[in-house]
Amino acid sequence: MATNTPPWSETRPTALIVLADGTVIEGKGLGASGEAIGELCFNTALTGYQEILTDPSYAGQIVTFTFPHIGNVGANEEDIEDLHPAARAGAVGAVLRADISNPSNYRALGHLDDWLKRRGLIAASGIDTRALTALLRDKGAANAVIAHHPDGQFDIEALKAKAREWSGLVGLDLAKEVTSGQSRTWSETPWVWNEGYGGAEETPAMHIVAVDYGAKRNILRLMAGLGAKVTVVPAQTAAADILALKPDGVFLSNGPGDPAATADYAVPMIRALLQTEIPLFGICLGHQLLALALGASTVKMHQGHHGANHPVKDFTTGKVEIVSMNHGFAVDGDTLPEGVEETHVSLFDGSNCGLTLTGRPVFSVQHHPEASPGPQDSHYLFRRFANLIRARQGEPALAE
């Protein structure tokens, strides 16, 4: 059994992280009590812990934060990304180095530990996250159980078996677990300092249908902020039902799980939309599903890309952007068929991060342009999508 030395005063650990290979890491329990199983990964972002933990793309995952101080700015009800907070879409656990400090931010409404409890999220602090990150870097993302029992009583052998027997994310369709239950209209626009979030235009310039595989709020806000009426539909919505809404453009959202599993129902719908001239834009899982619909393949990554400091090059502009990423699967760039061009690539490992269908108003990116790590390096992608729509409407283009 491998353990780390706890930096707190308790003689008995109240949290354990148990990996499928039998590794046991001791810590201090925070947030909700209980146990959760998932894929253990690491995220290198310095900020945005609420957005990360509530990103539906993290469903089925336990997030190790490499930045040691998490919780400093407290918690609020605005910095969340899932559309359905009651369903608790997002990460199933969090791993921290330092204990959570008292909040120090004018927007804070409470302590992060209390927020974790309300969301039912299990967390462990006092973990040597540098050592754990090195382990995941070398051996890859790991199936694991995170457990928090305030009395310090654990059945370690049962936890090892639970982690060992979990099938993992490969072959798992999680989009259907986090998607909207019914169609809805999105009206919130981006946050403005000292004003908060705005409302949508009374006379929208375009209508975008967003297919919700686990959509993030800020993606929808940015589209609404460009003057669009945004209709969110469930992941399994048929192409005929989408077309019946008379969209000017269709957006394929981010989401969790294995794209090859979600493809069972997503690819036929996307291929039907590709028979029309309606502009299509995909992000993250939406990018992967579009690639599958076009005949490419996806692969499981060794450790995935999770962070807000990833350099990506856009071949269409020649510029390098600093972007936010969260994905454990990727499009195999070598399988892109004729007529499909690679538009973006990761400068960390050369993996595919974008594509376009030659001569058609269809494109997608792997990274999250709405997350603003650059801070707005990739916001032009939303204007690019809007311009594809405006071109079909005979309207002048927006400046990208």
18-32 residue pLDDT tens = 999 999 999 999 999
Mean residue pLDDT across the chain: 94
Q: Is the dihedral of CA 68, 73, 77, 81 positive or negative?
A: negative
**What phi and psi, each to the nearest 5 degrees, are found at residue 159?**
-65, -40
| Short-list 380, 383, 386, CA closest to 344 | 380
Q: For the chain, what percent of residues have pLDDT higher than 90? A: 90
Q: How far apart are CA 285 and CA 49, in angstroms?
A: 21
Angle at 213 between CA 86 and CA 163, to 5 degrees: 70
The answer to whether 296 and 337 are in contact (CB under 8 A) is yes
pLDDT value at 8 more than 70: no
The answer to whether 177 and 216 are in contact (CB under 8 A) is no
More confident residue, 199 or 280: 280
Q: Look up 84 and say whether it is catalytic.
A: no
What b-and-e string marks burial along 82-115, b requiring 16 or more CB atoms within 10 Å of the CB? Answer: bbeeeebbbbbbbbbbbebeebeeeebeebbbeb
287, 305, 310, 368: which is the annotated catalytic residue? 368
Q: How far apart are CA 13 and CA 152, in angstroms?
A: 6
State the pLDDT at residue 82. Answer: 94
pLDDT value at 191 more than 70: yes
Could you state, in order of their start, the residue ranges of all structural domains in the chain? 15-165, 175-393
pLDDT value at 47 more than 80: yes
State the pLDDT at residue 87. Answer: 63
Q: What would the CATH number be for the domain defined by 175-393? A: 3.40.50.880
Q: In the structure, what pLDDT confidence band is assigned to residue 379 with cuts at 50, 70 and 90? A: very high
260-271 average pLDDT score: 98
Q: In the structure, what pLDDT confidence band is assigned to residue 9 with cuts at 50, 70 and 90? A: very low
pLDDT value at 10 more than 70: no
> What are the tens digits of pLDDT across the range 200-245?
888 999 999 999 999 999 999 999 999 999 999 999 999 999 999 9
Quickly name the fold that domain 15-165 has.
Glucose Oxidase; domain 1 (3.50.30)
Q: In the structure, what pLDDT confidence band is assigned to residue 85 with cuts at 50, 70 and 90? A: low
Q: Look up 370 and say whether it is catalytic.
A: yes
41, 284, 321, 353: which is the annotated catalytic residue? 284
43-72 average pLDDT score: 96
> What are the tens digits of pLDDT across the range 196-207?
889 988 899 999
pLDDT value at 371 more than 60: yes
pLDDT value at 2 more than 60: no
User: pTM for the whole thing?
Assistant: 0.95
166-172 average pLDDT score: 97
pLDDT value at 114 more than 60: yes
Q: In the structure, what pLDDT confidence band is assigned to residue 1 with cuts at 50, 70 and 90? A: very low
| Short-list 272, 343, 351, 281, CA closest to 314 | 343
